[in-house]
Amino acid sequence: MNYPNGKRTTKTLKLNQKQKPDFSNRGMTLEEDINETNAYYLREGIAVVHKKPTPVQIVNVNYPKRSAAVIKEAYFKQASTTDFNGVYRSRYIDFEAKETKNKTSFPLSNIHQHQIDHMKAVQEHGGIVFLIIKFTPHDEVYLLPSPTVFTYWDGQWDGGRKSIPYDKVQEKGILIPFHYQARVDYVKALDKLYF
């Protein structure tokens, strides 16, 4: 095939050949997929969930011209808590989203103590708390309820594992299949667990 620039393509086109859609590299991160899902939930009146902004202290800004301010130096004001929070079916929900390239487990080093402390406080006040974990090698996303997360987190300090095994995530969590509009349709998993 010749293109307008005069160059030829080396690829041959195969007509009438069925190809399976490839979802392995959708070009989106887990966080972006959840943001798209939350926008869909909001539009459809399903839930109100937003990403929490990370508090930042801006120290130095360069103004080469009025319309093009550039932040040169900034610092995090405080450690952030979890990624997302909101309301679903009149209940407060709060969760962290994490991706791992590990095939066999989810490393607990991906979570921080202040996040666990926050999650435990929310749970103590009746909120629904969970992790959404994406195992990128398997292209699978799971909702893992907080009791399982807390069991492994607390256990690591008593000589236990420093990760949650993949098979335990499969057993204790709920697989969230990819969908077009609600890409990470986690409310269906919440319905199974809590409603």
pLDDT, averaged in runs of 10, over the chain (195 residues) = 49 45 54 97 98 78 78 71 95 97 97 96 98 97 98 96 98 95 95 94
* 17 within domain boundaries: no
Q: Which domain holds residue 46?
A: 30-53+79-194
* 72 within domain boundaries: no
- Give φ, ψ of 35 to 5 degrees: -60, -45
* 69 within domain boundaries: no
Q: What is the pLDDT of residue 43?
A: 97
* 24 within domain boundaries: no
* 43 within domain boundaries: yes
Which residues are annotated binding-site positions for Mg(2+)?
Answer: 81, 83, 96, 115
Q: What is the pLDDT of residue 123?
A: 97
Which residues are annotated binding-site positions?
Answer: 81, 83, 96, 115
Q: What is the pLDDT of residue 63?
A: 81
Q: What is the pLDDT of residue 181?
A: 87
- CATH number, domain of 169, equals 3.40.1350.10
Q: What is the pLDDT of residue 8?
A: 52
Q: Using one digit for the tens of pLDDT, what is the confidence trace for 40-51? A: 999 999 999 999
* 3 within domain boundaries: no
* 123 within domain boundaries: yes
Q: What is the pLDDT of residue 41?
A: 98
* 163 within domain boundaries: yes
Q: How far is CA 32 from CA 96, 112, 123, 136, 190, in A?
A: 13, 21, 26, 14, 20
Domain count, the chain: 1
